[in-house]
Structure 1
Amino acid sequence: MSREDADPDAPAAIGAALYGLATRAVRRLPRDMSLTSAATLATLDRTGPRRIGDLAAAEGVTQPAMTALVRVMEESGLVERWGDASDKRVTLVCLTEAGASYVRTRRQAGIDAFERLIGELTGDEVEALVAALPALNHLAELESQDREGPKQ
């Protein structure tokens, strides 16, 4: 079926299903830190070191708010600041091993929760999800590019 032949209401229905699933998944995660802190750590894990201004833009917060958040995460040992070798005026925020471990643990908890739920589906439903994996992965790439903008 071509995109033009698809149900015109399908994008809205799919968007609603994905949004509902994502918000319920977020509610299941441990609440040991703010969602913005956890999202910032995940961004650093995906993209590598970033400027505070870039992190603020990626997470949709002000630069002063991100500066305060980075300070707290730095005091917790989750991130550290490094000077940029190419521009001495720039400071980059980097994950520490503890921060990377936190991201891996949190991600695995989410994967495990979905794995348990997927175990409740029928074989046909699992096959449908497997068939949708390329589209879901592409959608995640598009969302990431749209949200994070260019890498510094």
Structure 2
Amino acid sequence: MKRAVADSVDAIAEMIELETDLMWRYLIDRDTLSASAALVINRLYREGPMRLTALAEAEGASQSGMTQLVQRMERQGLLERWSDPDDGRASLVMLGDAGLANWEARAALRRQRIAALLPAVSPDDQLALWLAAQVVNRVLGQMREAAGSQDWVDAEVVG
């Protein structure tokens, strides 16, 4: 059973490594934003407004580093800060109009680049990839949710 788990972990790791390489090398526009800024926009798009401290923690950044990044992105119109309705002393960081437009433009570019690559894949493999994506999207969403939970701890290394 341990071998099957190890094989599963290896296959999942390889899939994520291939996807990450394809994404960062070919599918994203690396000229308009730093990786940190793109990740902040992605998180705020997915999760909505967040306190700066929660955003820094979620992104694995120091609060001062995140403050500097958020201020820079505010000046670019990518982010906005508003008073937290639950606590007037705190503020929430959210996407500004330019941040939403940036996310939408990057998503459209990603889709265009994927569409340009698909003709290199056989029709049967395109169908298989679509079917696999239905499952992978659901499962990776569950894994992302588990990784983001407060209760999550590092799993025992399988070897």
Please report the TM-score for the alignment, with normalisation by the length of structure 1: 0.85
1:93-135 CA distance string (max 9 Å, x none): 0111111000010111112111221222112111211221222
For residue 52 of structure 1, report the CA deviation from its aligned partner: 0.8
CA distance in 2, matches of 1:114, 1:46: 21
Pairs aligned (count): 147
Superposition pairs for residues 1-152 of structure 1, below 5 Å? 9-28=7-26, 29-31=28-30, 32-149=32-149
Please list every run of at least 4 consecutive aligned residues from structure 1 whose deviation after the TM superposition is greater than 4 angstroms.
none
Q: Is contact 1:118-1:126 (8 Å) kept?
A: yes
> 1: CA distance between counterparts of 2:133 and 2:19?
15
Does the C-alpha gap of structure 1 residues 119 and 45 become closer, same or farther in structure 2, counting only changes over 3 Å?
same
Tell me, yes or no, if the aligned pair for 1:58 and 1:147 is still in contact at 8 Å: no
C-alpha distance 15-88 of structure 1, shift in aligned 2 (>3 A):
same
Identity %: 31
Give 5+ residue unaligned stretches, structure 2.
151-159
The unaligned stretches of length 5 or more in structure 1 are none
Deviations 1:57-96 (A, max 9, x none): 2212111111100000001111110001111121100111
Partner Cα separation in structure 2 for residue 93 and residue 8 of structure 1: 40
What is the CA RMSD across the aligned residues, in angstroms?
Answer: 2.2
